[in-house]
Amino acid sequence: MLKACLILVIALGLAAIGVSQFQVKAKINQLTGDLAQQTQDAQNARAAQRKAENAERQAKADLETLNGQFAETQSRLEETTRIAQQQRVRADDLESELLSATSQRNEAQRELAQWRALGVEIQVIQSMKNDLIAAREAISAGNAEREILLREIGQIKYDLSKYEGPNSEIAMRDGLKGTVVAVDDNWDFVVVSVGESDGARQSGKLMVSREGKLVGKIQITSLEPNQSVANVLPGWKQADIQVGDTVLY
């Protein structure tokens, strides 16, 4: 009986060991499978990471290429815009020149039609133009001669006035006119824009006006070719003389 119990216990133990080994083996197989799957997943993840990194590098390279192309395109656009603006300005200038030339042509044609309506030949028109140029030159020469004569007359009047006595007015060029360029109120003298070359004379007197009204009278004390210094005559002073007032003889 005891022997049979021992055999039963041993059999049960062996059975328990078999079941335990079977369970452990199953667990090992499951863990081995899980490890293989995790290893495969890790390899797949690393492959996906490498692929993503390669894609990122390629995207960066493509972006740099696109940036370079964009910068080049923008530079070309700016150059094209600059050239277009230059051409627009040039076109505007040409259009303005065309309008001016057209206007001048139309005016010339109108004048020519008027002369033709009067029955005047082109040769006669040219002759009249030449005569007009000659007349203008003669007038210019006459004005220059008149200026010389006026200076000579003014000098003669001045020379005569010196012999007419101390109270006589010093003669100066008729129509002499200038402006006050500086004023000294402390010493009551002014600087005027007319000098000996303009027909002013030493000790000559000039009237001073402002807006057509008499302001005072001055007498030249220092004479230079293009300007003069003059004292303000007290008995003639109507108001303070200012820069810009008109002086005339």
Residues 121-138 have pLDDT tens digits of 667 667 767 777 777 776
Cβ–Cβ < 8 Å for 172, 151: no
When the candidates are 2.30.30.50, 3.20.20.150, 2.40.10.340, 1.10.10.10, the CATH number that belongs to 172-248 is: 2.40.10.340
In whole angstroms, give the CA distance from residue 144 to residue 137: 11
SS3 236: helix
pLDDT of residue 233: 92
Bridge-based pairing of strands 205-210 and 177-184 is: unpaired
pLDDT-derived band at 20, boundaries 50, 70, 90: low
pLDDT of residue 235: 86
pLDDT of residue 195: 93
Which residue's entry shows tokens 């004379």?
A: 201
**Burial readout 101-115 (b: 16 or more C-beta within 10 A, e: otherwise):** eeeeeeeeeeeeeee
pLDDT of residue 8: 63
pLDDT of residue 173: 84
Cβ–Cβ < 8 Å for 154, 199: yes
pLDDT of residue 228: 94
% of the chain at pLDDT higher than 70: 71
- Domain ranges (residues) in the chain: 29-119, 121-171, 172-248
pLDDT of residue 68: 81
Average pLDDT taken over every residue of the chain: 78
pLDDT over 90 (residue 217): yes
pLDDT over 70 (residue 113): yes
Q: Give the pLDDT mean for 44-73.
A: 81
pLDDT of residue 246: 96
pLDDT-derived band at 109, boundaries 50, 70, 90: confident
Q: Give the pLDDT mean for 159-187.
A: 77
Which range, of 23-37, 63-77, 199-213, averages the lowest pLDDT?
Answer: 23-37
List the structure tokens of 23. Answer: 């369970």
pLDDT over 90 (residue 227): yes
Which residue's entry shows tokens 């006595």?
A: 165
Other CB atoms within a 10 A radius of the CB of residue 17 amount to 10
pLDDT of residue 118: 66
pLDDT of residue 90: 79
pLDDT over 70 (residue 146): no
In whole angstroms, give the CA distance from residue 213 to residue 226: 25
